[in-house]
C-alpha cells in the first residue's frame, strides 16, 4: 500500500478494508474509541509521533511494514 511517505490520513486507512483490518487486529481498543472519527484527518506521520509515547517502537515498525505490504 502506498502510505504517501506517511502523509496518508487515518481516514484513508480506515476506508480501506485491508488496512482497517490491520488496525482492528493490532489495536482493537483504539478502534472502539469515541474520538476515532475525529482522528480521520490526522496523518499517519502524526499518528506515529503520538503513538510513540504509548507503544514500543517495534510495534509501530511492525504495523508500518504490514501496511506497506498491502
- CA atoms of 66 and 24, how far apart (whole Å): 13
Q: How many domains does the chain have?
A: 1
pLDDT grade for 66, boundaries at 50, 70 and 90: very high
Per the structure, the complete domain to which residue 49 belongs is given by 4-69
pLDDT value of position 36: 93
pLDDT grade for 69, boundaries at 50, 70 and 90: very high
Amino acid at each position: 500500500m502506498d502510505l504517501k511517505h506517511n502523509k496518508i490520513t487515518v481516514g484513508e486507512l480506515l476506508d480501506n478494508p485491508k488496512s482497517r483490518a490491520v488496525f482492528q487486529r493490532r489495536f482493537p481498543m483504539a478502534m472502539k474509541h469515541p474520538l476515532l472519527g475525529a482522528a480521520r484527518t490526522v496523518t499517519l506521520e502524526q499518528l506515529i509521533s503520538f503513538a510513540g509515547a504509548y507503544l514500543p517502537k517495534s510495534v509501530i515498525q511492525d504495523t508500518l511494514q504490514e501496511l506497506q505490504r498491502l
